[in-house]
Amino acid sequence: MAALQVAVERFLSELRGSRNYSAHTCRGYRTDLVHFIARHESLAPSDLSRSHVRAYLAQLQKDEGLARSSLLRRISALRSFARHLRETGALKTDPFLNVPMPKKESRLPKFLTETEMGSLLGASAPAGAPTLRARDRAVLELLYSSGLRRSEVSSLNVADVDFMSGTVRVFGKGSRERIVPVGGEALKCLRDYLKSRGAAPAGAPLFLNARKDRLSDQGVAWLLKRWVRAAGLKPVTPHVFRHSFATHLLDKGCDLRSVQEMLGHKNLATTQIYTHLSLEQLKRVYKQSHPKA
C-alpha cells in the first residue's frame, strides 16, 4: 500500500475514533481522497505541496460534469487531510496557504409547499408487501415531521422513539445527540409499521429492508423515489423533506433557534438560509402591520 494511502487510512481512523465522525461522513471523505490519490499514487505525504493543490484544483475545475458543491467537497476533504498531516508532523508547511479557493454557490434550498407535501404524503402507496408499504409511509412521515437527515433515519433503533413523550432521539453529525419532536401522524404510522412487523427488541433497527437488515440511507432515498414515481409527482430527495420541514416551521412563526436545535445545526448561520424562504410569513406580517398594506 502506497505511503499516501496509508496516511489516508490513519486519517480516517482518527475521524472514526477520536472525532466520532459517522460512517456516512467517513465514506464521503474516503471517496474524495481516493480521487486525489489516484492521480498521485507515488506521492509521499511529506511532499504534498501547493503545486499539487493548485494542479488538482485546476483539474477539478476543468471537469465540466462536476457540480460546484462536489468540487468544494473534494477540496475540503483534501484540506482536512493536509491539516491532519501537519498536526501529526508528517507535513511541515500548509499546501493550501495563499491558494485562492472557488466560492460556494449561494443557492436557496428547494422545498415543497404545504399543499405539495400534503399531496405527496396523501398519495396511494406503491404496490408491495403490506409491511414494506407501512414502513415507507412511516419513513416519509418521519422525514417531514422531524426534519431528519436520511442517514439519521436509517441509524434509528426501536428504542430511540419515545411514543409517550412524542419524541425521537437522534445522533447527528459528529455523533451529537438531540431530541426532536415527532408529530401525531408520524407516530401513528410508526405504530402501524411496528405492529405489522411484529415484536422487535429495543436495540433492533427501527426500519428494516426486504432482507430484514437495517434500511440504509441509500434505501431511504430509493423508497422515496419509488413512492414519488408511483404517485406521479415531481422528483424530490429526502433532503427536500428536511428543507420543507424548516421552511414550514418558520412560516408558522417558529423561532430560528428552535429550528436550529431541531435540525441539529452546529451554527445558527447554517439555519439562517431558511429565513430567505419564508416569504409568505413576511407578507402576512407586512399586511398586518403596515398602514398602507
**pLDDT, tens digit, 9 for 90 and up, residues 134-144:** 999 999 999 99
pLDDT at residue number 26:
87
* Bridge partners for 205 per DSSP: 157
Residue 208 carries which DSSP code?
B
pLDDT averaged over 10-residue windows placed end to end, the chain, 293 residues: 85 85 84 90 90 91 80 92 93 90 72 88 84 94 95 95 95 84 96 92 92 94 90 87 91 88 85 68 69 69
Letter string b/e over residues 201-216, b meaning 16 or more CB atoms within 10 A of that residue's CB? eeeebbbbbeeeebbb
Residues 6+ away with beta carbon under 8 Å from 124: 230, 231
Place of cell 431530541: 179
Active site residues: 149, 173, 239, 242, 265, 274
Letter string b/e over residues 227-240, b meaning 16 or more CB atoms within 10 A of that residue's CB? bbeebeeeebebbb
**What CA–CA distances, in Å, run from 50 to 29, 43, 82, 94, 97?**
20, 13, 11, 8, 7
Asked whether 181 and 146 are in contact (CB, 8 A), the reply is yes
pLDDT at residue number 22:
76
pLDDT at residue number 281:
59
With CA atoms as reference, report the closest residue to 217 among 4, 23, 17: 23
With CA atoms as reference, report the closest residue to 8 among 53, 43, 59: 43
**What CA–CA distances, in Å, run from 177 to 3, 10, 16, 171, 276?**
36, 26, 16, 4, 28
pLDDT at residue number 238:
93
Instruction: At 288, list the grid cell.
Output: 398586518
Residues 6+ away with beta carbon under 8 Å from 174: 19, 20, 21, 22, 266
In the chain, the domains with their CATH numbers are: 3-87 (1.10.150), 114-284 (1.10.443.10)
pLDDT at residue number 67:
81
Asked whether 121 and 141 are in contact (CB, 8 A), the reply is yes
pLDDT at residue number 161:
96
* Residue 269, Cβ density class (10 Å: 0-12 exposed, 13-18 middle, ≥19 buried): exposed
Residue 175 carries which DSSP code?
G
pLDDT at residue number 103:
77
Query: How far is Cα 247 from Cα 239, in angstroms, rounded to an integer?
Result: 12
Query: How far is Cα 166 from Cα 152, in angstroms, rounded to an integer?
Result: 17
pLDDT at residue number 280:
57
Query: How far is Cα 48 from Cα 209, in angstroms, rounded to an integer?
Result: 43
CA dihedral over 11, 16, 21, 27, signed as positive or negative:
positive
Asked whether 242 and 153 are in contact (CB, 8 A), the reply is no
With CA atoms as reference, report the closest residue to 222 among 212, 204, 235: 235
pLDDT at residue number 208:
95
pLDDT at residue number 61:
86
Instruction: At 170, list the grid cell.
Output: 437522534
